[in-house]
Amino acid sequence: MSVLEVALDPATVIVAVDPGKAFHRVWISNGAGLLADPMSLPVSREGISQLEVALNKHGPDAPVIAIEATGSLHRPWVAELERRHPGSVRLFAPSETKSARVQLGSGRFKTDDRDCAALTYMARQGAGRRYGRQASVEALRAAVRHRRGLVADRKIAQQRLHDQLNTLCPGLSAPAGHGRSLALETPTGLAVLACAAAFAGRAPQLRSLRCRAQGRLTTSTAQYWLHRWRGCLPPPADADQRALRLGRDLDRYRRLRADIDALDVEVGALLAETDGQILTTLPGVASSRKAQRRTVTATIAMPHDGAT
């Protein structure tokens, strides 16, 4: 992820790409100016082919390809262009593009062509991050983004399971602050859900509850929940249909947890392939830095010895 600092030779061909959802805006230029009219190329294979045809008209030398890293819009082209021109792709953050537009006098007016001009300007100065050195980081980011979505789905699934359980067994799992709540992600919670689905909300026997626990479930804990269960109101009239739906949702929830566990292993392996970085956004770090700044400010404002 090193930043290049050496200005490019004026004869170097620069390809500036401003990504879009369906079309990418492309400029091809060198130190003398534009080598072709600005193009809007489709994001498909056809767009890459048209770009290659345009580049072949300007010699066999490898170009420098400057692309704005905008969400996920740039990734397909970045991967394909890096495969065709190894080491030629440079990535720029949207904030860098905006800063370059400000330097060029068009910071308040964003267009695709102005972004391409800003990308060309930065690439000409030798700025940008090589994509080849960020491949492992991109893979890690993709895994983390996918895991974040699965965690959000897991939260929704837990809320749905709680609602279904409280309908089949009213009051079995008390809400937070109103008694002992049932943690669905624990072996106890999963065993209770499995019994609720198997017996349509009716209280099971101790043996049935313990045999469905995929983990540690002590006798005292099982007896506590059975005692709570037997004191609940009877299940609703459509308990059998609700139990079938609960069983299917429970299967989906288990598969979701298995996917998250598999991603945790994958993220751990990807982390080993990337360089470590100091994360200043971790809990407590921002407040500590803010307190440090206040201390420095107070020290500067403190009068010197002998001041009146």
First-last CA distance in the chain: 53
- What DSSP element (H or E) covers 143? helix 135-168
Question: What is residue 10's three-state secondary structure?
Answer: coil
Say how far apart CA 280 and CA 293 lie, in whole Å. Answer: 14
**Burial degree of 292 (CB within 10 A; 0-12, 13-18, 19+):** exposed
pLDDT of residue 296: 43
* Dihedral in degrees, nearest 10, Cα atoms 172, 177, 179, 184: 50
Q: Roughly what angle, to the nearest 10 degrees, separates helices 112-124 and 94-103?
A: 90
- Whose structure tokens read 């290659």? 52
pLDDT of residue 177: 58
Question: What is residue 155's three-state secondary structure?
Answer: helix
Topology of domain 14-130 in CATH is: Nucleotidyltransferase; domain 5 (3.30.420)
Phi, psi of 22 (to 5 degrees): -115, -30
Each domain of the chain, given as residue ranges in start order, spans 14-130, 141-270
Q: Roughly what angle, to the nearest 10 degrees, separates helices 187-198 and 219-230?
A: 40
Phi, psi of 152 (to 5 degrees): -65, -40
pLDDT of residue 57: 87
Instruction: Return the structure tokens found at 246.
Output: 């609960």
How big is the chain by its Cα radius of gyration, in Å? 30
CATH assignment, 141-270: 1.10.287
The Cβ of residue 88 has, within 10 Å, a number of other Cβ atoms equal to 18
Per-residue pLDDT of the chain (308 residues; tens, 9 = 90+): 344 457 788 889 999 999 999 999 999 999 888 999 999 999 999 999 999 999 988 877 789 999 998 878 888 999 899 989 988 999 999 999 999 999 888 877 889 999 999 999 999 998 888 886 677 777 888 899 999 999 999 999 999 999 999 999 988 876 655 567 788 899 999 999 999 999 999 999 999 999 999 888 999 999 999 999 998 899 999 999 999 999 999 999 999 999 999 999 999 888 887 776 544 544 544 444 455 545 444 443 444 444 43
